[in-house]
Amino acid sequence: MGLRRRRRLYSLPVSPLVLFGVVLIVLCSSFVNGNSNSTQIPITPINHDLYHTRGALLEEIESLVHRHPSKLSMETFSTQNKGYHAETTVVTYCRNKKDCDDRSKLKILLSFGQHGRELITTELALRILSILSEEEFLSSAYPLNLNNTLDRLVIKVVPMENVNGRKLVEAGDLCERRNGRGVDLNRNWSVDWGKKEKDYDPYEENPGSAPFSEPETQIMRKICASFEPHVWVNVHSGMEALFMPYDHKNTTPEGLPSQRMRLMLEKLNRFQLNDRCLVGSGGGSVGYLAHGTATDYMYDIARVPMSFTFEIYGDSTASSKDCFKMFNPTDITTFNRVLNDWSAAFFTLFSLGGVQIEELHPNATGSGFEKWVSIDDYLNGYLMERKSRYGKKMEVLELGMQEIRTYFRLFLLSSVLLMFMFCSRISKSGRQIVSAMSL
């Protein structure tokens, strides 16, 4: 989701005369003391000893891809809307490129840097890619067989979704979370788009003129539709949390898949993150509802069976105006701890994800049918696959699913009745012929 900055509101019953007096005293005091005693909240600058600039980070990732062409590949997608242009880099990891199209592999889509001010998330993207390429390594205490895990995966990483917003942050607007024209990319998706809560802040949550009005979200939707991932993770900072749907309401989905998602998050929190994180739905845990988020779209519309939002760091002591400190570690010890802990959490997720998908959908990563399915299951699966493949154009199919099932049942019933009538007539005709021949 990306935690909003905390807003502190005060309401005091002060008369205009008293208020004027207070202002006059403050002005006089400032004049006498030459403003030397005025208090200002210190603003922490970007620590360039720890953090890459956007250009340096993307160049390092490009160099990493060039050094490991057998495992990594990179694409750049670009589009524009009304003169506003955006580019998104996508890195694909497959341990053996010859097997990348193998339908038995678990497909994972990760997005970092959706909000410009959350620099630590893009550093985590670089760390994960470095580990995947084996230039860096996880702790020796990592409990899983990493090689066996990676053989079964295809991973797409978007290391910096909001490049234009990052430019504004690096130019000095350290609190900017929106894209280059003031739209929050995590409010620009179609599920419950545009709804405004009572505490709605247009600076923090501007959803844009329409769902998918922004080139960045258009690109991400296309990537999802073509890749059809089994796992989606949207990575943010502002707090420490492991969120599952929903963001736009304070409940989680019903059924076994939701229970399995929560169980997975609880395991990650317990074994990799020392129970530091909130676990549950974004809308029920973070303290406010968010409408039009990427994770709700991925789960409800794209039908990604395991859809998550991870919040990897937050400084609750920081002022809401000191955004770099609020959303990013400022010392090397905390910086390294965050990257080490969350890298281990992601690789644990990679392993657990394959197990969960196979338990929920035995054929989800397979290429053939092992048993017959009911017509309801077939139609649901077919329509959801089509909707996932083609995005918003297929969302209208939901409205007709019940009618399609009803008509199909009527068709089957009428076919059976016609067949029964036809067989009955044949049977009667046969008896008449036999009787005539016996005469």
Tens-digit pLDDT profile for residues 162-215: 999 999 999 999 999 999 999 999 999 999 999 999 888 888 899 999 999 999
- The pLDDT assigned to 372 comes to 32
Structural domain contains residue 308: yes
**Integer Cα distance of 384 and 257 in angstroms:** 16
Domain count, the chain: 2
Q: Tell me: pLDDT of 137 over 80.
A: yes
305 plus 399 within the same structural domain = no
User: If you average pLDDT over residues 123-143, what whole number do you get?
Assistant: 86
- What does the CA dihedral 277, 297, 213, 326 come to, rounded to 10 degrees? 0
- The pLDDT assigned to 43 comes to 95
Residue 25 CA, distance from chain mean position: 51
Structural domain contains residue 406: yes
55: phi then psi, degrees, rounded to nearest 5: -65, -45
Q: Tell me: pLDDT of 146 over 90.
A: no
**Integer Cα distance of 412 and 374 in angstroms:** 13
- The pLDDT assigned to 352 comes to 87
387 plus 327 within the same structural domain = no
Q: Which of 330, 360, 390 is the last residue of a domain?
A: 360
Q: In the sheet where 239-244 sits, what is the strand order?
A: 72-81, 84-93, 153-158, 106-111, 231-236, 306-313, 239-244, 278-281
- The pLDDT assigned to 335 comes to 98
Q: How confident is the model at residue 382 (pLDDT cuts 50, 70, 90)?
A: very low
> Within 159-289, where are the H helices?
163-170, 202-205, 215-227, 256-271, 282-285
Q: Which of 295, 330, 360 is the last residue of a domain?
A: 360
Chain position carrying tokens 């690096």: 170
Pairing type for strands 231-236 and 278-281 reads unpaired
In angstroms, the Cα distances linking 252 to 262, 280, 298, 370, 373 are 9, 7, 14, 31, 27
Model's pTM, two decimal places?
Answer: 0.76
Q: Tell me: pLDDT of 9 over 50.
A: no
Beta-bridge partners for 88: 77
Residue type, 119: L
> Quick check: 314 and 237 in contact, CB under 8 A?
yes
- Give the residue, 5 or 372, on which the prediction is more confident: 5
Ranking 9-23, 100-114, 159-173, 396-410 by mean pLDDT, the lowest is 9-23
Structural domain contains residue 42: no
Percent of the chain with pLDDT over 70: 73
Establish whether 134 is a catalytic residue: no
User: If you average pLDDT over residues 307-315, what whole number do you get?
Assistant: 98
Structural domain contains residue 226: yes
346 plus 415 within the same structural domain = no
Q: Tell me: pLDDT of 364 over 80.
A: no
Beta-bridge partners for 154: 107
CA atoms within 13 A on the CB side of 292: 24
- The pLDDT assigned to 361 comes to 53
Q: Tell me: pLDDT of 366 over 90.
A: no
> Quick check: 54 and 167 in contact, CB under 8 A?
yes
> Would you call 44 helix, strand, or coil by DSSP?
coil
- The pLDDT assigned to 180 comes to 97
Structural domain contains residue 64: yes
287 plus 414 within the same structural domain = no
CATH number at residue 111: 3.40.630.10
170 plus 287 within the same structural domain = yes
Radius of gyration over alpha carbons of the chain, in Å?
28
Structural domain contains residue 7: no
Percent of the chain with pLDDT over 90: 61
346 plus 403 within the same structural domain = no
Structural domain contains residue 369: no
> Would you call 215 helix, strand, or coil by DSSP?
helix
Given the residues 240, 311, 385, 395, the one annotated as active site: 311
- The pLDDT assigned to 346 comes to 96
In 10 A of CB 314, how many CB atoms? 20
287 plus 433 within the same structural domain = no
**Integer Cα distance of 424 and 430 in angstroms:** 10
Q: What is the mean pLDDT of the chain?
A: 82
Q: How confident is the model at residue 426 (pLDDT cuts 50, 70, 90)?
A: low
Q: Tell me: pLDDT of 217 over 70.
A: yes
318 plus 394 within the same structural domain = no
- The pLDDT assigned to 60 comes to 98
Structural domain contains residue 312: yes
Q: Tell me: pLDDT of 31 over 90.
A: no
162 plus 193 within the same structural domain = yes
98 plus 225 within the same structural domain = yes
In angstroms, the Cα distances linking 133 to 40, 65, 126, 338, 437 are 46, 8, 11, 20, 85
The DSSP secondary-structure symbol of 288 reads: S
> Quick check: 170 and 163 in contact, CB under 8 A?
no
350 plus 419 within the same structural domain = no
Q: How confident is the model at residue 141 (pLDDT cuts 50, 70, 90)?
A: low
Range of the domain at 207: 54-360
**Integer Cα distance of 216 and 294 in angstroms:** 12
